[in-house]
Amino acid sequence: MDISLQNVEYRYQVNTPFERLAIKDVSIDIPSGTFLAIIGHTGSGKSTVLQHLNALLKPTEGKVVIGDRVITADKKQKNLKEVRQKVGIVFQFPEHQLFEETVEKDICFGPMNFGVSEEEAQKRARAAIQQVGLPEEILNKSPFELSGGQMRRVAIAGVLAMEPEVIVLDEPTAGLDPRGRKEIMDMFFSLHQTRGLSTVLVTHSMEDASRYADQIVIMHNGEVYEKGTPKEIFSSPEGLLKLGLDVPEVVRFQQKIEKSFNTRFSKTCLTMEELTEEVALLVKRGAPK
């Protein structure tokens, strides 16, 4: 399912003394099957953008197209259920939203809310729990007996069980240990590939953005500051650095080497393999005689 934001503006609490412009003139295309990363500082408007992707927020200007639905300021929206089912959002610390007595009931809650039968929901719960890498026995446990990492996975399973076509992830690995982080991201990436999902990842991790994304959008002060492929974005990282954002470790190291050797690599390396290759070549070539 394609999603596109066209010149979207959003103001919080319009016509009150607390009115605040959160995003303006934001245009982003997310064709079906894209892996998009959105990066930017806290307060840059990332979360506001994210809430437009399944019409939790309605733009105050411009329009949002989600599949065949068009969301604009002046049109009353009816029956957004379908949109919400097709675009699943995994919020930050999603484990805080677990509430049911058992893991199974918690996972079934979403699909049943969308009219799926109990039997079908349970079938989906079994599939989803497997996808997030947990044993089926866990379905009968209380979510509150689980470890933090397991709770996170259960919450994610709850979103997967709705069988969305687009999955939106708001800092899905915050607070996890390095292995947990890698496992969760690899899981999303493999779902992305095997199910042909569109994935939107809001992250502070430049490593994840460069490793997984096809497209990157940098938000700053409520506007799209830059967009492009990871190669494009990180090949001229001046903009990122000016905003005080990080660049991936690999890119940062390449810059340091280039500076101290007073040379330029033939390309921007995005993986450690590329980087070691280039560095080894450079060092072995030796100093000019």
Partner 1 sequence: MKEPLVELKNVSFKYDTEAGFALRNVSFTIFMGEWLAIVGHNGSGKSTLAKLLNGLHFPLEGNITVGGIQLAEATVWETRKKIGMVFQNPDNQFVGTTVQDDVAFGLENHGIERNDMVQRVSQSLEKVKMAQFLDQEPHHLSGGQKQRVAIAGVIALRPDIIILDESTSMLDPRGREEVLETVRELKQDYNMTVISITHDLEEAAKADRILVMNKGQLYREGTPEEIFQMDDELVKLGLDIPFPVKLSKMLREKGLPLSRHYLSEEELVEELWTSHSKM
Where do contacts with partner 1 occur on this chain (CB under 8 A)?
41-43, 145, 147-149, 174-180, 204, 244-246, 249, 252-253, 256-257, 260-261, 272-273, 275-277, 279-280, 282-287
Least Å distance between CB 254 and partner 1?
11
How far apart CA 189 and CA 186 sit, in angstroms, is: 5
Least Å distance between CB 102 and partner 1?
17
Nearer to partner 1 (CB atom), residue 40 or residue 164: 40
CB 115 within 8 A of CB 85: no
Residue from 89, 98, 93, 91 nearest 175 by CA: 93
- CA angle 83/168/9 to nearest 5° reads 75
Contacts of 44 (CB under 8 A, 6+ apart): 219, 220, 221, 222
Q: How many CB atoms lie within 10 A of CB 211?
A: 17
Least Å distance between CB 246 and partner 1?
5
Residue whose pair of structure tokens reads 């049911």 in the numeric block: 100
How far apart CA 212 and CA 25 sit, in angstroms, is: 26
Nearer to partner 1 (CB atom), residue 7 or residue 147: 147
Least Å distance between CB 279 and partner 1?
6
Helix axes 249-261, 272-285, angle to 10 degrees: 10
Nearer to partner 1 (CB atom), residue 85 or residue 173: 173
Least Å distance between CB 220 and partner 1?
13
Instruction: Locate 219 and state its tokens.
Output: 């938000």
Q: What is the dihedral of CA 35, 40, 44, 48, to 10 degrees?
A: 20
Nearer to partner 1 (CB atom), residue 96 or residue 231: 96
Q: Are strands 198-202 and 35-39 parallel, antiparallel or unpaired?
A: parallel
Instruction: Locate 245 and state its tokens.
Output: 């954002």
Least Å distance between CB 108 and partner 1?
26
Nearer to partner 1 (CB atom), residue 232 or residue 273: 273
